[in-house]
């Protein structure tokens, strides 16, 4: 179960020293971090079944979505922001630039292929 890792990533992405422009994240940045947190917990759901920390996190995430009025659909990582301004929407909507912005770990993103053809 890797829930602690999800928790740590979420805390890091929302803490003042996370590299965000201001001391506190904007609503957009916060919702992005929260969606990434939710995605991380979903990925670890199978191995975390019955883990109290995991179930608490899932419950808390639902509350935070409501509390901060975040939509559950949307980007899960932020685009690289210019040094003086917030990321613009078009950058958020460009997956490639988002994964590049997420640092060295994001540069090796793998793709999967599915095909259906013939009879």
Partner 1 sequence: PHLRTFRDEFQTCKVEGAWPLIDNRYLSVQVTNVPVVLGSSATATSKITVIFKSYHGCTEQKVYQATTEDLPSAFQDGSRSGGEGGSLWIVEKVGSGGRLVKIQARYIGTSIIVRRVGRYLTFAIRMPEDTLDFSEENSGLQLCLHGCPRNELIKEHTLGRQPLHPRLPGSGSNPELGPLLPPHQIYTVERATAKCRETLQVEDIYFQSCVFDLLTTGDPEFSMAAYGALEDLKALPPSKLKQNSPRTPHVQQNRGGP
**Can you tell me which of 10, 44, 54, 61 binds partner 1, judged by CB under 8 A?**
44
Nearest distance, CB of residue 38 and partner 1, angstroms: 10
Site string for partner 1, 1-30 (x = CB under 8 A): ---------------------------x--
CA angle 63, 3, 108 (to 5 degrees): 110
Secondary structure class of 67 (helix, strand, coil): helix
Q: Is 92 in the site for partner 1 (CB under 8 A)?
A: yes
Q: Is 62 in the site for partner 1 (CB under 8 A)?
A: no
Chain centre distance of CA 59: 17
**Can you tell me which of 11, 12, 45, 53 binds partner 1, judged by CB under 8 A?**
45
79 Cβ contact list (under 8 Å, min separation 6):
87, 88, 91, 92, 94, 97, 98, 101
């Amino acid at each position: 179960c890797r829930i602690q890792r999800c928790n740590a990533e979420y805390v890091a992405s929302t803490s003042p020293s996370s590299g965000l422009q201001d001391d506190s994240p904007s609503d957009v940045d916060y919702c992005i971090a929260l969606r990434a947190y939710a995605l991380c917990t979903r990925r670890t759901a199978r191995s975390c079944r019955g883990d109290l920390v995991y179930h608490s996190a899932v419950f808390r995430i639902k509350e935070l979505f409501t509390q901060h009025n975040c939509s559950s659909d949307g980007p899960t990582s932020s685009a690289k922001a210019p040094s003086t301004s917030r990321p613009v929407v078009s950058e958020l909507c460009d997956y490639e630039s988002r994964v590049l912005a997420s640092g060295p770990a994001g540069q090796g993103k793998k793709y999967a292929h599915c095909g259906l053809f013939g009879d």
